[in-house]
Structure 1
Amino acid sequence: MKSNILIIGSGFAGVWSALSAARLLDQAQRDDLSISVLAPQPELRIRPRFYEADVHSMKASVSDLFEAVGVRFITGNAEGIDAAGRSVSYTDTNGQRQQIGYERLILAAGSQVARPAVPGLAEHVFDVDQMESAIKLEQHLAGLAALPTSPARNTVVVCGGGFTGIETATEMPARLRTLLGSDAPVRVLVVDRGAKIGAALGAGITPSIIAACEQAGVEWRAGTSVVAVDAGGVTLDNGEYIASNTVIWTVGVKASPLTAQVDGERDNFGRLKVDDHLRVIGQEHIYATGDTAWAAVDELGNHALMTCQHAIPMGRHSGNNAMADLLGMQPVVYRQPKYVTCLDLGDWGAAFSEGWERELKLHGQEGKDLKRQINSVWIYPPAADRALALAAADPLIAIV
């Protein structure tokens, strides 16, 4: 079995790579080239929402969408990349080892939370990184109601005060009270190495983070880190022990391990360095996109972050350019100079900023309304309408 373009991953970058490649193939009026997506399931999992409740619903099927645009889906887990032989090995749904060849490979395998060698971390922490782990956390939280009240039962420790940590922490008090009762003495703490609250997100957003945490009762242990975790709680580097049955790890992220199977330069997150067309530097037939790619977004030295905000446009470019390469057409330079953030802050609202300096533009309920629009509409894939889906995959579409 062989595919002209093989895409590993059905996340934001993978889905939009497939649509964009199909768009260019459609415009060329060619029917002799194929596009295949290899992933564990034919769905786009809405990972930016995994800090919310009802995690099992945070997904969108892409089966009908891919059928509408002529993309073949292969169910399996990619395990090996043979760049010299232009093939990928994978395990299918029956547990059998399979192999597929390609002419152009787009690596859109995403990223995963980094788990350092902290004693007890592997055994005792939860995360909201993948759907399975977020569901495990949700089931655990539901089970707390069956336990007798205690400081450990009522306390959640969120390790990491970055974007994911803050969204998880500010959402958590309401989630706990829904499960444990409105009068439950819940306690949520954020442990972060940054010297100040919200240090990782800049001064513009910090007042909103402080206000939201004060309203929700979220505490911070700034300038500290977790040095050990056990069944009863966490130990901090200052010697403090916090009793907790629920420790959530949000510190750090790394690119898919599959990136290590491709020769090339990498950044500190393991992302492959790519050229302006998202081709892996030093590789003739392999493109990297989304969380697997270290790509320039402008001429000022800024690079794409590991978020859907960058993964979606990167997918539009990588799919277009891989297909353009096969068709003998000119590729399109990837640039995305506009950068925004929209940080969910629980019942308080949300904070929306623009620019790399994160200048605050909206906060409170106005920010929340925008966040809900982003989370429930903008980041979902298009409907299974061929014309509409292909039009939405244009790499030159305006990004607002």
Structure 2
Amino acid sequence: MKNILIVGAGFAGVWSALSAARLLDKYDCEDVEITLLAPQAELRIRPRFYEPDVHRMYAPLNELFDSVGVRFVQGTASHIDEQAQTVGYTDEAGRQGELGYDRLVLASGSQLVRPTVPGMDAYAFDVDQIEAAVRLENHLTSLKDRPYSRTRNTVVVAGGGFTGIETATEMPARLRAVLGDDEEIRVIVVDRGPQIAAAMGDGIRPSITEASDHLGIEWVLDATVAAVDANGVTLADGRRIEAGTVIWTVGFRASPLTAQLTGERDAQGRLHVDQHLKVLGQDRVFAAGDVAYAATDELGNFAVMSCQHAISLGRHAGNNAAAALLGVPPMPYRQPKYVTCLDLGAWGAVFTEGWDRQLKLVKQEAKALKTQINTLWIYPPAADRATALAAADPRIPVA
């Protein structure tokens, strides 16, 4: 029995498993097993971790995996031996285990990397993992038990990128839900850029600026956080912002497992892959999702760390890992359409198309689309074999 081993149960890992199962089913192959290794049998809906009720932002996977014949092993991958074709892991009880593979799909995701700023680990929150987002939510809920002060009612969001903006624009509603509609609150985004959403382009910036004004969100630009403490932040230029809550949202890097494989990596640690998502220099290893530095088209664009790209990357990687064992042609990964749907809290949202972010929808029209994406499109299919396998076809566009 041959084995396709998938490491990770995020968007790329789940769709790799389903896509591999689809191709094996298509060819009536019964001598290849699919094993998925992850800490939990659940897809954690990471793009929603800026929202309230974050403890509900996951989808269980056991029934889905059972329906398509994927074997789930609970554990955290710790070591990859590419010569022996094994992956070492630690299970929930702390026991060591090892899994062999004929083809490996590395889909172990990315993580927020906090800088070595004084007080960062002790006092800053983030929304990177579900446990961290729950910790933030519990903290926000606890604010109502503290006496009123401007510090209590102030939140600093460090970083004005995608995660920072969605976190900041949702924060006024989250604070008022805890403190009351009449409370005077402050939400301040600290960003090193020279203007609001500097990296996002001119097409989307006016909407972000308008939403910020509407929601009362302040931006402190050309600034970096030099220290964090229990009562706020000190900026690199010496300015002080008193705040009872500091949220860090910048600095993502691919899983450290990528460093254990022979191959070229980009500045974020992502493995360079060919058009079939095989890691360059490797015969038996594919990469998908946030660990893959993959060209989306012939124009020089590369996949970004997003579920939009992870789903399609997963479908292709799983398909191609199975194709290699079946001896059938692989399917080249291409994802020429790129969209941005950015949640902007009570103001609405903004939807753009293209890498140059051409504005298509704003406010409530975009918000309706964002709600559909967040509550329907990015969730896994029902635990029905035919439905799940049909949904895993790499030819289905993801946008």
TM-score by length of 1: 0.99
Within 5 Å, give how 1:16-31 maps onto structure 2: 16-31=15-30
Equivalent residue of 1:152, what SS? Answer: coil
Aligned position for 1:152: 151
Asked whether the 8 Å contact 1:3–1:101 carries over to 2, the reply is no
- What is the CA-CA distance between 1:3 and the residue it aligns to? 6.1
How many Å separate the matches in 2 of 1:267 and 1:228?
29
Aligned position for 1:193: 192
Equivalent residue of 1:68, what SS? Answer: helix
Quick one: structure 1 residues 132 and 3, their matched pair in 2 at CA, closer, same or farther if it must change by over 3 Å? farther
Amino acid at match of 2:264: E
In the alignment, structure 1 residue 54 sits paired with structure 2 residue 53: yes
Within 5 Å, give how 1:195-210 maps onto structure 2: 195-210=194-209
Cα-to-partner distance string for 1:59-111 (whole Å, 9 max, x where unaligned) = 00111111000000001111111111100111112210111111111000000
In the alignment, structure 1 residue 5 sits paired with structure 2 residue 7: no
Asked whether the 8 Å contact 2:160–2:197 carries over to 1, the reply is yes
Matched residues, percent identical?
63
Equivalent residue of 1:212, what SS? Answer: helix
How many Å separate the matches in 1 of 2:2 and 2:214?
54
Asked whether the 8 Å contact 1:23–1:393 carries over to 2, the reply is yes
- What is the CA-CA distance between 1:33 and the residue it aligns to? 0.7
- What is the CA-CA distance between 1:269 and the residue it aligns to? 0.5
Computed over aligned residues only, the root mean square deviation of the Cα atoms, in angstroms, reads 0.9
Cα-to-partner distance string for 1:267-317 (whole Å, 9 max, x where unaligned) = 010001001100100111111100000000000000000000000000000
Aligned position for 1:178: 177
Aligned position for 1:366: 365
Aligned position for 2:326: 327
Within 5 Å, give how 1:1-400 maps onto structure 2: 4-400=3-399
How many Å separate the matches in 1 of 2:150 and 2:253?
33
How many Å separate the matches in 2 of 1:325 and 1:4?
12
How many Å separate the matches in 1 of 2:398 and 2:129?
27
Equivalent residue of 1:397, what SS? Answer: coil
Which sections of structure 2, spanning at least 5 residues, go unmatched?
none
Asked whether the 8 Å contact 2:279–2:287 carries over to 1, the reply is yes
- What is the CA-CA distance between 1:252 and the residue it aligns to? 1.8
Cα-to-partner distance string for 1:128-158 (whole Å, 9 max, x where unaligned) = 0000000000001001111111122111000
Equivalent residue of 1:78, what SS? Answer: strand
Asked whether the 8 Å contact 2:226–2:235 carries over to 1, the reply is yes
Which sections of structure 1, spanning at least 5 residues, go unmatched?
none
Equivalent residue of 1:265, what SS? Answer: coil
- Which stretches of structure 1, 4 residues or longer, exceed 6 Å deviation after superposition? none
Equivalent residue of 1:220, what SS? Answer: strand
My pick for the range that moved more, 229-238 or 53-62, is 229-238
Equivalent residue of 2:202, what SS? Answer: coil
Amino acid at match of 2:212: C
- What is the CA-CA distance between 1:395 and the residue it aligns to? 0.8
Amino acid at match of 1:166: I
Asked whether the 8 Å contact 1:3–1:100 carries over to 2, the reply is no
Aligned residues: 399
Asked whether the 8 Å contact 1:3–1:36 carries over to 2, the reply is no
How many Å separate the matches in 2 of 1:136 and 1:289?
29
How many Å separate the matches in 2 of 1:51 and 1:323?
36
- What is the CA-CA distance between 1:399 and the residue it aligns to? 3.5
Amino acid at match of 1:44: L
How many Å separate the matches in 1 of 2:118 and 2:60?
38
Amino acid at match of 1:277: H
Amino acid at match of 2:50: Y
How many Å separate the matches in 2 of 1:292 and 1:3?
24
My pick for the range that moved more, 165-174 or 200-209, is 200-209
Equivalent residue of 2:152, what SS? Answer: helix
My pick for the range that moved more, 311-320 or 144-153, is 144-153
Quick one: structure 1 residues 50 and 3, their matched pair in 2 at CA, closer, same or farther if it must change by over 3 Å? farther
Equivalent residue of 1:117, what SS? Answer: coil
Quick one: structure 1 residues 30 and 208, their matched pair in 2 at CA, closer, same or farther if it must change by over 3 Å? same
- What is the CA-CA distance between 1:251 and the residue it aligns to? 1.0
Equivalent residue of 1:153, what SS? Answer: coil
Amino acid at match of 1:237: A
Amino acid at match of 1:367: A
How many Å separate the matches in 2 of 1:125 and 1:149?
21
Equivalent residue of 2:101, what SS? Answer: strand
Asked whether the 8 Å contact 2:311–2:398 carries over to 1, the reply is no
